[in-house]
Structure 1
Amino acid sequence: MKITRIALAAAVMTAGAAQAAEVTPAEVQFDEYGAVEVSLSGAEGNPENGAAIMTSRGKGNCIACHAVTALNDAPFHGEVGPTLDGVGEYRTAEELRGIVANAKMTFEGSVMPAFYKTSGFIRPGNAYTGKAAKEEDLTPILSAQEIEDVVAYLLTLKES
């Protein structure tokens, strides 16, 4: 009985160690090319959720700027950014994670929003709005798990 309890406790501790903690936006570590090596949520991404985020106007709305043939059922694909068809063949999960979290770390002049950033924004303040901009951190556009879901979906986009 005692051995069973020890084995159970060890299994629970191992499972807990395997589940990494969520990386906050301020803790994201980009490499010199903008890639992010570790999962932001500590969990696998769900490609179905990623597709929903990419077409949701209240979330990522990636198709507003990028064409994705696999998402042709969703209207209004944009042409501002490159097509994402086949991106899962020439980009790694780490590269995609970095680009979705903050594309400016990979492409300096990108107009793509930083989906996992909370500070460091330029705010207009009194000169434009008549109200002072608040200096507190903002909420990221996507959560850590939503970033992982989008990355999981993008990795499914292979040339046929």
Structure 2
Amino acid sequence: MRLTTLALAVASLGAQAALAAEVAPQDVTYDDYGAIATSLSGAPGDPESGAVIMKTKSKGNCISCHAVTELKDAPFHGEVGPILDGVGSRWEEAELRGIVANAKMTYDGTVMPAFYKTSGFIRPGNGFTGKAGEEPLPPLLTAQEIEDVVAFLMTLKDE
């Protein structure tokens, strides 16, 4: 009896660890419409951190292209991309995850950068050197940062 309980506990911990494993950028599975069904980090996103990432120039800097009323404290909202107000009512979490990770999987030809991609770029730059970068490049956002941004976007609901 004691061995069975111990075996079940170990199996349960192993299953939880498998669920919590981070998905590497090259291993992300997109559906036919560009959605990513499962968490990239294995952990829930933090909407507050997501809001910070969206406003931070060295991170997502989403507001440089998108207007977001909820982030009114951040200056200079962009007009290149669509307004994100109500996006949590229009899209499922998996769809938003796919768009944030690599919008080109959903919208061919979009100018939105792929935030969770490490290879297959066209002319990546190496800082301000004028020389081409060498792949694989680091992703613009980590798996957890993607989850945080998605968690924030899911809070933007229509009233």
In the superposition, the TM-score normalised over structure 1's length comes to: 0.88
Q: CA deviation at 1:118?
A: 0.4
Aligned to 2:145: 146
Aligned to 1:74: 74
Aligned to 2:64: 64
Q: CA deviation at 1:43?
A: 1.0
* Identical aligned residues as a percent: 67
Aligned to 2:107: 107
Q: Secondary structure at the match of 1:37?
A: coil
Aligned to 1:44: 44
1:137 corresponds to which letter in structure 2? P
Q: Secondary structure at the match of 2:36?
A: coil
What is the distance in 2 between the residues matched to 1:13 and 1:124? Answer: 44
Note closer, same or farther for the CA distance 1:124–1:25 as it changes in structure 2 (3 Å cut).
closer
Aligned to 1:55: 55
Unaligned ranges ≥5, structure 1: none
What is the distance in 1 between the residues matched to 2:34 and 2:136? Answer: 22
Aligned to 2:158: 159
Deviation string for 1:96-124 (max 9, x for gaps)? 00000000010101100000000001127
Contact 2:54/2:62 (8 A) holds in 1: yes
2:15 corresponds to which letter in structure 1? A
Deviation string for 1:20-76 (max 9, x for gaps)? 211111011111111111111111111111111011111001011001101101111
1:51 corresponds to which letter in structure 2? A
Aligned to 1:15: 13
What is the distance in 2 between the residues matched to 1:109 and 1:159? Answer: 28
What is the distance in 2 between the residues matched to 1:72 and 1:12? Answer: 48
Contact 2:93/2:150 (8 A) holds in 1: yes
Runs of 4+ in structure 1 deviating by more than 6 angstroms, as ranges, are: none
Q: Secondary structure at the match of 2:82?
A: coil
2:9 corresponds to which letter in structure 1? A
Note closer, same or farther for the CA distance 1:17–1:86 as it changes in structure 2 (3 Å cut).
same
Q: CA deviation at 1:17?
A: 1.1
Contact 2:124/2:133 (8 A) holds in 1: no
Please give the residue correspondences for 1:87-126 in structure 2 after superposition, counting only pairs within 5 Å. 87-123=87-123
The alignment's C-alpha RMSD in Å is 1.9
Pairs aligned (count):
154
Note closer, same or farther for the CA distance 1:8–1:134 as it changes in structure 2 (3 Å cut).
same
Note closer, same or farther for the CA distance 1:115–1:13 as it changes in structure 2 (3 Å cut).
same
